[in-house]
């Protein structure tokens, strides 16, 4: 997130002598995801972050592809993903291309280990559950409706309040950021942006863990999981500053834009990436032209696939949609409201729908995990 934040004890200049109360130097680490030209933070550890005690055999977590080249409109019942106690094993990738993965998870307990995705930035949407995300940058409280954005390479531990948790996640090979058109040349969110910096929750309550022993960190890289054991607690940070850190943003803080006639999907955009966009459909007033048709018009997906994750409420353009369901409308064929949706939308004044839309610019492949929860013959659902 392109605005400055700092916590704890840091020196007055970068890369200068900075000693602990016991006289030892802090171990300075530059954390960044695009070489030395992207966003970064400077972190000050009690101990060097390089002390590996053991590494075990890597194992594949590469999704198994069921459909590599497809042009079917598909739907999946996300809540049919069975809960699993292990956070990593609960993550089921459903859709994948060369630069991103989209999946669901239903972890029923908090892991004892730490996790790091060294391949991709992660965006996690909290559909059910609440808890804390712990990192070396501090603590982040999360709850229903929150997006959690975690820069790749961030070691984290997630702690849930309950055993009923439902997560939608996106893994991206390049950074996930706020849309450029919402920001001025200095990175500040503009007045017409549907959210502002006050809506972004930054890490707080930095706690320095001066602990040595054996700390399990599972590191994902190139489709494999690498089990590492480090000699120091990964959150032994006394202070940090910079622009790179995890944060949360609540979908309920997205302020919808409305008009006299139906507005196109980009008005709902919340995040961007060179390879996809993410939009938030939230409760809002409908169009107020006297002859307005609130339902979306039919449109052809040519430049991108369209993926919708249904969170809550009655999504007026679809029939027979359940909470946690996912639809995939592939680039190359038109789609639009289900039969009857246009007529029943006329005269409606507002909607209570809540959904997350992801538009990848490269076609998605379908995994075996997705086929297990597929709604059969969804592509026929536009027949009268």
Together in a domain, 207 and 312: no
Amino acid 33: pLDDT: 87
Tokens at 37, concatenated? 């030209």
Query: How do residues 99-139 score in pLDDT, each as one tens digit?
Result: 999 999 999 999 999 999 999 999 999 999 999 999 999 99
Domain boundary residue, one of 213, 228, 243: 228
In a domain, 4, yes or no: no
Assess whether pLDDT exceeds 70 at residue 220.
yes
* The predicted structure's pLDDT at residue 315: 81
Residue owning tokens 């909290």: 126
Note the pLDDT of residue 165.
98
> What's the rounded mean pLDDT across residues 295-314?
92
CATH number, domain at 117? 2.60.120.10
pLDDT of 2 above 80: no
Q: Give the pLDDT score at 9.
A: 97
Higher pLDDT, 348 or 372: 372
Instruction: Identify whether 104 is part of a domain.
Output: yes
Same domain assignment for residues 173 and 282? no
Answer yes or no: is 329 within a domain: yes
* pLDDT of the residue at 1: 58
Residue-wise pLDDT for 203-218, tens only, equals 999 999 999 999 999 9
Same-domain pairing of 224 and 258: no
352 belongs to a structural domain: yes
Q: Are residues 274 and 205 in the same domain?
A: no
Of the three residues 228, 243, 272, the one that is the final residue of a domain is 228
Residues 216, 91: one domain? yes
Q: What is the 3-state secondary structure (H, E, C) of the chain?
A: CCCCEEEECCCCCCCCCCECCCCCECEEEEEECECECCCEEEEEECCCCCCEEEECCCEECCCCEEECCCCCCEEEEHHHCCCECCHHHHEEEEEECCCEEEEEECECCCCCCEEEECCCEEEEEEEECCEEEEECCEEEEECCCEEEEECCCCEEEEEECCCCCEEEEEEECCCCECCHHHECCCCCECCCCCCCHHHEECCECCCCCCCEEEEEEEEEECCEEEEEEEEECCCCEEEEEECCCCEEEEHHHCCCCCCCCCCCHHHHEEEEECCEEEEEECCEECCCCCCCCCCCCCEECCCCCEEEEEEECCCCCCCCCCCCEEEEECCCCEECCCCCHHHHHCCCCEECCEEEEEEECCCCEEEHHHHHCECCCHHHCCCC
pLDDT score of 384 more than 80: no
Task: Assess whether 176 and 277 both reside in one domain.
Answer: no
Q: Note whether 101 and 182 are same-domain residues.
A: yes
pLDDT digits (tens, 9 = 90+) for 242-275: 999 999 999 999 999 999 999 898 999 999 999 9
Instruction: Give yes or no: residues 192 and 307 share one domain.
Output: no
pTM of the model as a whole: 0.96
On whether residue 277 sits in a domain, the answer given is yes
Residues 188 and 281 in one domain: no
Cα 12 to Cα 4, 15, 137, 190, 354, distances in angstroms: 15, 10, 19, 31, 46
* Domain shared by 207 and 309, yes or no: no
Is there a domain that residue 6 lies in? no
Residue 36 pLDDT grade (very low, low, confident, very high; cuts 50, 70, 90): confident
Q: State the average pLDDT over residues 330-352.
A: 92
User: Is 27 within a domain?
Assistant: no
Same-domain status, 265 and 311: yes
Listed residues 212, 228, 244: the one ending a domain: 228
* pLDDT for position 319: 82
Q: Which domain holds residue 155?
A: 55-66+82-228
Judged by average pLDDT, the poorest of 79-83, 173-177, 313-317, 335-339 is 313-317
Residue 240 lies in a domain: no
Please state the domain count of the chain: 2
357 and 317 assigned to the same domain: yes
């Amino acid at each position: 997130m392109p605005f400055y934040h700092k916590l704890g004890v840091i020196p007055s200049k970068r890369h200068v002598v900075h000693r602990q109360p016991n006289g030892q130097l802090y171990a300075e680490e530059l954390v960044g995801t695009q070489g030395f030209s992207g966003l970064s933070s400077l972190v000050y550890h009690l101990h060097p972050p390089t002390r590996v005690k053991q590494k075990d055999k890597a194992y594949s977590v590469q999704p198994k592809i069921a459909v590599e080249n497809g042009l079917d409109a598909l739907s999946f019942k996300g809540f049919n993903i069975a809960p699993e106690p292990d956070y990593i094993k609960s993550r089921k990738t459903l859709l994948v291309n060369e630069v991103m993965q989209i999946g669901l998870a239903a972890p029923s307990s908090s892991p004892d280990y730490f996790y790091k995705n060294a391949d991709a930035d992660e965006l996690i949407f909290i559909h059910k559950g609440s808890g804390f995300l712990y990192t070396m940058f501090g603590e982040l409280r999360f709850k229903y409706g929150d997006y959690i954005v975690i820069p790749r390479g961030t070691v984290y531990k997630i702690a849930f309040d309950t055993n009923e948790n439902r997560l939608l996640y996106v893994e991206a090979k390049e950074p996930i950021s706020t849309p450029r058109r919402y920001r001025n040349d200095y990175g500040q969110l503009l007045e017409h942006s549907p959210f502002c910096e006050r809506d972004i929750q930054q890490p707080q309550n930095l706690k320095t863990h001066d602990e040595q022993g054996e700390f399990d960190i599972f590191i994902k890289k190139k489709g494999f999981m690498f089990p590492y054991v480090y000699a120091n607690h990964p959150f032994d940070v006394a202070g940090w500053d910079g622009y790179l850190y995890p944060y949360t943003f609540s979908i309920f803080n997205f302020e919808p834009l409305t008009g006299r006639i139906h507005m196109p999907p980009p008005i709902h955009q919340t995040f961007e990436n060179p390879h996809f966009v993410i939009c938030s459909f939230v409760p809002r007033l409908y169009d107020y032209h006297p002859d307005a048709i609130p339902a979306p018009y039919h449109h052809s997906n040519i430049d991108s696939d369209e993926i919708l994750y249904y969170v809550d409420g009655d999504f007026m353009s679809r029939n027979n949609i359940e909470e946690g369901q996912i639809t995939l409308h592939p680039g190359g064929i038109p789609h639009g409201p289900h039969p009857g949706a246009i007529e029943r939308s006329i005269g409606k004044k507002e909607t209570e729908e809540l959904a997350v839309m992801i538009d990848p610019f490269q076609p998605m492949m379908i995994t075996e995990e997705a086929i297990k929860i597929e709604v059969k013959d969804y592509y026929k659902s536009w027949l009268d």
